[in-house]
Chains A and B, each alone.
Chain A
Amino acid sequence: MLKEEIYSSENHSWYIFCRDPEKPENIIDTNEYLIISDGEGLAMDPGGTEIFAHVVSAFSEVIPVSDISTFFASHQDPDVISSLPLWTGLCPKAKIYLPWLWEDYIAHFDLAAVKQFVTVPDEGSEIRFRNGHIIQLIPAHYVHAPGNYSLYDPSAKMLFSGDIGSALLPNSNYSVFVEDFEQHISYMETFHKRWMPSNRAKNDWIARVRELEVDMLCPQHGAIFKGEMVGKFLDWFEALEVGIAIPS
């Protein structure tokens, strides 16, 4: 599994874990992200059960797993959080931030973990590291799940966007960052048209993100948008007609 530090300051880092060559076929490829702030870890969309062993091994290369204090699930999908009981087994005191809407659903993955749940209200909320570093949870409802959030780190100017910006890449050698935007469209267009159900919700999210300073937009599948690619993605997404499964 590829591990790369994508942001670093004196005491604060972002890592991506992706392109797992051991990943079983027929399982959608996912990116896992980890923020480490003064030795305290926050894992974003830690992934499905089937890839847990590789993810925990890769995480442990950058932080003892016992130092992960927080898990964030952008929504309820199995590729996002079905590994929950395996993580809570190792981190029984960690907080699990998740959309309030999915609390009873995610409990199906791990009923015993409910006591660790911190439900995020519709308007979003914050996660605070022990060193005072604040992370914002930005509403992203209906893009694609009806209860859905992006995670924004204001000091690092990093945005974890969940399924937004995702791409189904042709192979595991694909670059971690988007290099050729036009070519990349071919890997994400169908995904966004089909998975995102609402143009209104999509544009609401874009308007929120345009108000933020974003150096990197980090999706759960595919490649990261960095620098000018962030704006290109937002423009492209804004113009895209989504929710196309129903014939007009």
Chain B
Amino acid sequence: MDTSTEAKPRAVMPNETVIGLYKNCMEFTLNSRTFLLRTTELHRVGINAQVMAAQSGEAAPVLSALVSEIGVLTAKISAALNLISGSGGLLAKNAIKTTKTANQLQMYYQAWEIGLEVKTNTLLLSIYEKKEAEMYSLLREVRDQLSAHTATLAELQKTVIFIPALINLINVNVAEYPQYSEQFRVTSTELNDFKDFIESSTSLMSNRIKEAIHLINSAI
């Protein structure tokens, strides 16, 4: 069909970009939620230590110190995670919105390729331009959100350095209070597991951010 117009819509983002961006944003959001759940386990470690402290008599001051250190660690991690998961919902929503708009643009582009009568063609091009601008503004918003999370993740990674010190504190006391050795062992194992979890999760989430930002930059 002769559309009698030179105007041409800009080709829409490739499907792989749309899907890749969606996947990274959603996985990042899900990772942050898993992280938050795991932090409640750290709370539990703190509570276990508190119970031990209450029952222990002579070991109480040491265990109270341990409880306090775990509390500080948990607070630091929770604060960082709250920042991430607070905007996680918005990030997921924006990722879904971007995917929907990109799909809509793909359909309009396909219609334009098939051919449209002049008036409809002009209408479609103006709607296309408007929706495309909305989508790119949304992409920039997503990129800003992701960039902000980079700093937060770096903060989370820093908290890891406190864990070996805490485990050392525990190990020192195992010799002094052998009657609590099993409880100390469990606590230090849980802390160690949590350290591994923080390291692997922050690395995974950082990679998601890098990949998503790369996709956005290549699309804009």
Contacts and interface: CB of A to CB of B under 8 A. Distances in A.
Interface string B111-123: 1011111011101
Interface in A86-100: 86, 89-90
B120 A89 contact: no
Contacts, number: 54
A60 interface: yes
B110 interface: yes
B131 A57 contact: no
B123 A54 contact: no
Main secondary structure of the interface of A (DSSP, over half): helix
Contacts of A86: 104, 107-108
Given A65-B120, A89-B104, A57 B115 contact: yes
A47 to B, nearest CB: 12
A49 interface: yes
Contact of A53 (B111, B117, B131): B111
A86 to B, nearest CB: 5
B111 A64 contact: no
A177 interface: no
B1 interface: yes
A49 B107 contact: yes
Classify chain A's interface size: 10 to 19
B169 interface: no
A61 interface: yes
A64 B107 contact: no
Interface string B82-106: 0000000000000000001000100
Given A89-B131, A90-B123, A90-B127, A57 B107 contact: no
A60 B121 CA distance: 9
A85 interface: yes
A60 B120 CA distance: 6
A49 B105 CA distance: 12
A53 B120 contact: no
Interface of B: 1, 100, 104, 107-108, 110-111, 113-117, 119-121, 123-124, 127, 131
16 contacts: A49-B107, A53-B111, A53-B113, A54-B114, A57-B111, A57-B116, A60-B119, A64-B120, A65-B116, A65-B120, A65-B124, A86-B107, A86-B108, A89-B104, A89-B108, A90-B120
Given A65-B116, A90-B123, 11 more contacts: A54-B111, A57-B115, A60-B119, A61-B1, A61-B117, A64-B117, A65-B120, A66-B119, A66-B123, A90-B124, A90-B127
